[in-house]
C-alpha cells in the first residue's frame, strides 16, 4: 500500500498513481494548483479516503514529537495520518513529512527530489529570554513566523533545530 502526497499526483505518470491512497482533502489542493491535472487524476483508480479522527490525532502527536507540527498544513497532516494509520509507505517530496515519518520509524520515498539525509528534532526558542521548550501537540500551524508567545516573558517563540 502506498500513500501519495500531492507532489506525486502532480508529477507522476498516471500509471504510477493508479492504486495509490490519497486523502480527500488533497483533491481541493490539486484542483487549486492544477485544474487540468485534477481532472486527469480523478479519471483514474485512486483510493480517496477520509481521515479517521483517531489517526489525525496520532499524526499531530507524532509531528509534535519531532517538532515539525507548526509548519505542516492541514493537507500534510491528513496525508501523514493516512500513512501512520495504514502503516504504509509515504511518497512525498516534503522534507518535513519525511522527517516526521523517519522520526516515527516509518519509511518514505521521494517523488522527484533527493531524500532527506538527516533526521532532525525541532523545538521552540524564545526570542527574548532564549528559553526552549518542546512543541506542544495543540499548536496552530503556519508556514512562517512565531509559533506562540513565551509563557515566561511574552516574547515570540520561533521554531529552531534542537541541538
pLDDT in the model for residue 144: 79
Give the pairing type, strands 47-49 and 108-109. unpaired
pLDDT in tens, 52-108: 999 999 999 999 999 999 999 999 999 999 999 999 999 999 999 999 999 899 989
| CATH code 3.40.50.1010 for 2-109 | yes
The pLDDT mean for the chain works out to 91
pLDDT > 90: percent of the chain: 74
User: For the chain, what are the domain ranges?
Assistant: 2-109, 122-161
- Residue 157 confidence class, pLDDT cut points 50, 70, 90: very high
Amino acid at each position: 500500500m502506498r500513500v501519495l502526497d500531492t507532489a506525486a499526483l502532480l508529477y507522476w505518470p498516471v500509471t504510477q498513481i493508479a492504486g495509490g491512497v490519497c486523502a480527500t482533502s488533497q483533491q481541493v489542493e490539486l484542483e487549486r494548483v492544477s485544474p487540468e491535472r485534477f481532472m486527469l487524476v480523478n479519471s483514474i483508480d485512486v483510493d480517496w479516503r477520509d481521515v479517521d479522527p483517531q489517526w489525525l490525532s496520532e499524526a499531530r502527536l507524532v509531528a509534535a514529537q519531532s517538532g515539525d507540527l507548526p509548519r505542516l498544513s492541514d493537507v500534510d497532516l491528513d496525508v501523514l495520518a493516512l500513512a501512520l494509520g495504514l502503516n504504509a509507505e509515504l511518497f512525498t517530496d516534503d522534507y518535513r513529512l519525511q522527517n516526521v515519518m523517519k522520526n516515527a520509524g516509518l519509511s518514505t520515498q521521494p517523488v522527484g527530489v533527493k531524500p532527506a539525509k538527516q533526521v532532525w528534532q525541532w523545538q521552540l526558542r524564545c526570542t527574548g529570554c532564549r528559553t526552549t521548550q518542546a512543541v506542544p501537540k495543540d499548536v496552530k500551524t503556519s508556514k512562517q513566523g512565531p509559533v506562540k508567545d513565551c509563557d515566561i516573558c511574552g516574547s515570540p517563540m520561533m521554531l529552531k533545530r534542537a541541538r
